[in-house]
Every structure is written in structure tokens, then in C-alpha cells.
Amino acid sequence: MLTPILATGDPYAAADEFVANGWTLVFATPKDSGDPLACVELCGGRVMLGVDSEEFLAVEARGHRGAGVQFYVEVPAEVIEAVHAAHREPGGIEQRAWGTRSFLVTLAGYDFMIATAQD
């Protein structure tokens, strides 16, 4: 299993954004722990939200956060409409040439393609 850790300005605020878009908060470290980290999930796909401190994301790269990367999250076909409706500003659901239906959404500055699992 691969779980990305995304550099964010505030992992707790980023987690709130994901939760407001229908994701589930798996965990968040205490704010005073000295290790700010949160984990969110959508239909079994997890993303961890970390900090964008210099050791993880250079200052000069922050304007390019997520450039060239799109996260692909599979959801059961029977829930794609409900998942789409839970997101605040998703693109439309489209039929893809490879057989899935999907939509695009940007959360915490990162692009996600949320798609039905292929049969």
C-alpha cells in the first residue's frame, strides 16, 4: 500500500477541508505534539497531511505545490454520485476511454481524480 504525505501550510486546516468534502478523518496528532500530521480517507484511499516546512518543501517550490501530480482514488461505482455530491467544487463526472467514470477536484492545492473501480 502506498500512502502519500502531502506538504500543507496547516495539516489540521487541510484535514478540515477534506472532511468538508466528504472524506473521513482517520487521525490527527495533537496540535501541541510538535509533530503536526493528519490522515484522511475516502473509500479506503488514504492521504496523510503534513507540514510544508523547509525540510519537506523548499520555499521556492511552494508556488508549484503538486505540479505534475494527480492522485487517483478509486471508489465503488455505486457511490460515485454521492461522493461527487459531497465535494464542494468538483468537475463533472465523465466517462473515461479506459472504462471508468471519474471527476476532478482540487483539495489543499493538490489535484485528485476520483474514479469508479474498473471491473
Calculate mean pLDDT across residues 5-11. Answer: 93
Calculate mean pLDDT across residues 14-33. Answer: 97
Dihedral angle over CA of 30, 41, 113, 84, nearest 10: -110
pLDDT value of residue 63: 77
Residue 25 pLDDT more than 70?
A: yes
pTM above 0.75, yes or no: yes
**Residue 31 near residue 12 (C-beta atoms within 8 A):** yes
pLDDT value of residue 53: 78
Least confident of 56-60, 88-92, 100-104: 56-60
* CB within 8 Å of 102: residues ≥ 6 apart: 80, 93, 94, 96, 113, 114, 115, 116
Average model confidence (pLDDT) for the chain?
Answer: 92
| Structural domains of the chain, ranges and CATH numbers in brackets | 5-116 (3.10.180.10)
User: Long-range contacts made by residues 77-80, C-beta under 8 angstroms, separation at least 24?
Assistant: 77/101, 77/116, 77/117, 79/43, 80/114, 80/115, 80/116
